[in-house]
Structure 1
Amino acid sequence: MTELTIIGKPDCHLCDVARDVVEQTLADLPEDLAESIEVTELSILDDPALYETWWERIPVVLIDGELHAHWRLAQDRLSKALCARS
């Protein structure tokens, strides 16, 4: 199982875009691969440690706890990273 984490906050336009990119990327992956990816969303407003670490870089996307991207998320790069994990 691959864990993909989106860190953002409510009412964040770039966070909405990142979420859309993740959803489209998963929809375009082979079904068995997409089903092996667990997506979690966290808000920096709910966790002071997340806020302290990431507030200047949201949205942030982590794959298995490692930084994949911040600010802007590229669908082709995300797809390649997720396929490499399978």
Structure 2
Amino acid sequence: MAPAPADGRTPTTPRVRVLVRQGCHLCEVALATVREVCAETGDEVEVVDIDPDPALREQYTDQVPVTLVDGRQHDFWRVDAQRLRVALAGRPR
């Protein structure tokens, strides 16, 4: 069994997580970019709707979509595809 990554993720946690809200146009655009990049890199994407979780909603409500890479905030509002590629190439799986 592989050891847990140093960033606290479990071996089955996707490297990329996108926090979204229903009806958010920017979320749809960001998700399309993230999914395109992750299809190229072979990384999985987890999409999390913040609305059902009061803590996430309070923390991120004005920033969605928020993109997290390896458990750390990478982008919010918009996703730069090239910057995401670099982040995914530069961190261990």
TM-score range, shorter chain: 0.7 to 0.9
User: What is the aligned counterpart of 2:58 among 40, 52, 56?
Assistant: 52
Name the structure 1 match of 2:75: 69
CA contact (8 A) 2:20 2:66 kept: yes
Give the letter for the 1:8 counterpart.
V
Q: Which has the higher contact order (CA 8 A, sep 6+)?
A: 1
CA contact (8 A) 2:35 2:45 kept: no
Name the structure 2 match of 1:19: 31
Q: Aligned equivalents of 1:73 and 1:54: distance in 2?
A: 16
Name the structure 1 match of 2:21: 9
Percent identity reads 36
Structure 1 or 2: more strand by fraction: 1
Aligned residues, how many? 80
The alignment partner of 1:6 has SS state of strand
* 1:38 Cα deviation after fit: 2.9
What are the ranges of 5 or more consecutive residues in structure 1 without an aligned counterpart?
Answer: none
TM-score (norm 2): 0.79
TM-score (norm 1): 0.85
What are the ranges of 5 or more consecutive residues in structure 2 without an aligned counterpart?
Answer: 1-10
* 1:62 Cα deviation after fit: 0.5
